Structure 1
Amino acid sequence: MGNRLTINGGKMVKLVEYSEVLEKLEEYIIIDVRSPKEYSEATIPGAINIPLFDDKEREQIGYIYVNESVEKAKRIGIEAVSKKLPYIYDEILLLHKPHKKLLFFCAKGGMRSGSISSLISSLGVTACKLKGGYKGYREFINRELPAINEDIKYIVVHGKTGTGKTKILEKLRNIGFNVLDLEHAANHRGSLLGSVGLGAPSSQKMFETLIYEQLKDKNGIYVFVEGESKRIGKTIIPDYIFSAMRDGYHIYIDGSIRFRSENLINDYTMSPNANIEIIEALENMKKYINEKNIDEYKNMINNKEYEKVSEELMLKYYDPMYKNSSKSHNFEAFIDIKSIDDGVNKLKKWFEDNLDLEV
């Protein structure tokens, strides 16, 4: 069990390891008291952000702490927090229930989480503090994720752009298979158009956290995963996972140009700003496609000629690129599919025929 810290006339705040929290996660409400920017870059899944300092305050206090005076930085911090205490207290009370424990964390488990957990505890609310803060949580992920990966045999699904690999894997998960969706973890589809309609991509830290979340409850050693290059958007697949994928079973799926085009259109044109985002992404393709063609594609997008653009991009850009990248794999099977469900059924049959395991 975690150690205990004595505070405020004998009141106790429990110091807990994340591994202990994970065993009884349903008992905790996790509160991230770091700044909004820190929270947006990476946090513990499910954590709620109640920042003690906004981004500007944190930057100012940090500068003074390092370059001027620790005591001055503390004083400015106290002044900044004191104005917000009624709001912070109200927010915390809204989260607190009799059967829940409040778990606070900051960057390193230091002053921010220590002060607020001590204060809340002194006011009669059950409060805990995460040992090592977010840094301690990262140490947990850096230790546990490689350990989980050691026991995995990946089934790597390859296929040309538009074959619906992500949707197929999602349906395989829904019927009981272990699946690692790297693109979901990265919040990026892995191509130059990969961020369209998805918002900001994940940071590297959040990427690895979301991989861990997908793998921690796996049943059995086999995990389906989509074939990816080592970089997905701005994130990089850890070496130990990429190496295990390379050594896994590799399956190639394919489909008609019409089927693939329909999938691409559904994936990329659903967001309100789809046309703007697609046109911005096309600008990034100028080193692969000549400017005249890019301009033609932009006009097609503005005229909502999505099918024509998608087929052009597949035939002239994506398919040749994918053909070159897939040469390094020895495929166990080549599967032609006519729909997403057809792909699910054929991969399921391959699994049952070749690995002889019950799902």
Structure 2
Amino acid sequence: MQAAIDIKKALELQRRGALMVDVRSPTEYAETTIPGAINVPIFDNAERAEIGTIYSKIGQREARRRAIELVSPKIPQILKEIDDAREPGSPPAIIFCWRGGARSLAITSFLDLAGIPALQLSGGHKAFRRHINNFFAETDFAKMLVVRGPTGVGKTQLLRRLIDENFPVVDLEGLANHRGSAFGALGLGNQPSQKMFEATLWQRLGQLHSNEYLLTEGESKHIGRLVIPERLHQAMLAGSSIWVEAPLEYRIQVILQDYPARDSMAEAFKPAISALKERLGKQVVAELLSLLGQRDWPELIRRLLVDYYDPLYLHTRPDHPVCVSITSLEDGVKKLKQAVSQLLPVRYKKPYRREL
């Protein structure tokens, strides 16, 4: 007999090795899912649209009949795919759809008939979204150590090196797939949806929940088109700051490394540069576009740093930060670790007094 499970118990089973199975359509899955879930769709995108049309134009009964016609031939393959994906001896698979309705109920029932352990997630993905919303609304986050500094000092690279050394880093730009600047989207592909960004951010914070502090890069509330949850952003603003500085020539080289395919992306830089006209004026923007046309990347970057980024971000320097001056990535990693140690003589309270 198939049974349902609530979201907290489902996430606990997932931590113990249970397979999460999203049976929604590929489009729904691509927009957002529970991190770690695999997609075994009952209906493809076209079939889901067809059933929706029948439901709205004819009625529920005909839509259900058509759904059964479409899914019946697929059942053996769906069950095999789920069974093959389960680790031997793992807890029951957790099956979910949008709101814990007919799609997940049907697959859980067939799995039960086939003797494959499975549980239906009560409330479906909507229950997970409520869980995420509650987490970001109620959690008291750990002490935040926030790495700030002018554009091009390599803050992201420094933090990713610390990830390799198991420091509790939250890489917001990595999760958002955006560099957090006017040119931040170039060469990186699409950003995730807001819901998926929040889901993977929740997942990363869960991985770090036993740490007494968190390290992250200073960001505005928006990273591209995505929004950092308010309570987390406030914790960042209230955190201790590490200000990283580097010579201008070093910063230019860091940015050149950030855009290795810049020649092939030259046309994509034009709209971003043109958008600076209001702040820099027509003449300066014309000069920048001329440098772009000549593919004089070092000089273009120099002008953008001196004319745009440095004046813009000068006001973001916090009062009384721990200052770090670096001349290379290795030098920066060493000094950043020293700065972290300097800021942690006091033992802070553990974060996350509620379940993840």
Band of TM-score, shorter chain: 0.7 to 0.9
Matched, 1:282 2:276: no
Count of aligned residue pairs for this structure pair: 339
Give the aligned partner of residue 58 of structure 2: 68
What do residues 206-245 of structure 1 show as CA deviations (whole Å, max 9, x unaligned)? 1111211121132333211111111101111111111111
Q: Which residue of 2 aligns with 1:138?
A: 129
**Structure 1 range deviating more: 167-176 or 42-51:** 167-176
Structure 1 residues 206 and 297: alpha-carbon distance in aligned structure 2, compared to 1, 3 A threshold:
farther
1:285, CA displacement in angstroms? 3.0
The one-letter code matched in structure 2 to 1:207 is: F
Which amino acid letter does the alignment assign opposite residue 12 of structure 2? Answer: E
The alpha-carbon deviation at position 205 of structure 1 amounts to 0.9
Contact 1:27 1:99 survives alignment (8 Å) = no
Rounded Cα–Cα distance in structure 2 between residues aligned with 1:294 and 1:332:
33
Residue number in structure 2 paired with 1:4: none
In structure 2, the partner of 1:212 is 202
1:332 is the counterpart of 2:332: no
Q: How does 1:1-359 map to 2 (within 5 A)?
A: 12-24=1-13, 25-100=15-90, 101-148=92-139, 150-218=140-208, 219-269=210-260, 274-289=262-277, 290=282, 292-293=286-287, 295-301=289-295, 305-324=296-315, 326=316, 329-356=318-345
The verdict on how the C-alpha distance between 1:331 and 1:172 changes in structure 2, with shifts beyond 3 A counting, is: farther
Q: Which TM-score applies when normalising by structure 1?
A: 0.86
Partners of 1:213 and 1:133 in 2: CA distance:
18
Misfit runs of 4+, over 4 Å: none
* Structure 1 residue aligned with 2:352: none
Cα distance, 1:154 vs structure 2: 1.1
1:68 and 1:247, CA in 2 relative to 1: closer, same or farther beyond 3 A? Answer: same
Q: CA deviation at 1:312?
A: 2.8
Cα RMSD (Å): 2.3
Structure 2: gaps spanning 5 or more residues: 349-356
- What amino acid is the match of 1:197? G
- The percent of aligned pairs where both chains have the same amino acid is 36
Letter in 1 for 2:63: A
Measured in 2, the distance between the counterparts of 1:33 and 1:275 equals 42
- Partner amino acid, structure 1, of 2:290: E
Counterpart residue type for residue 116 of structure 2: V
Cα separation, partners in 2 of 1:36 and 1:278, compared to 1, 3 Å? farther
**Structure 2 length-normalised TM:** 0.87
Q: 1:97 to 1:226 in 2, by over 3 A?
A: closer
SS of equivalent residue, structure 2 residue 252: helix
**SS at 2:2 equivalent:** strand
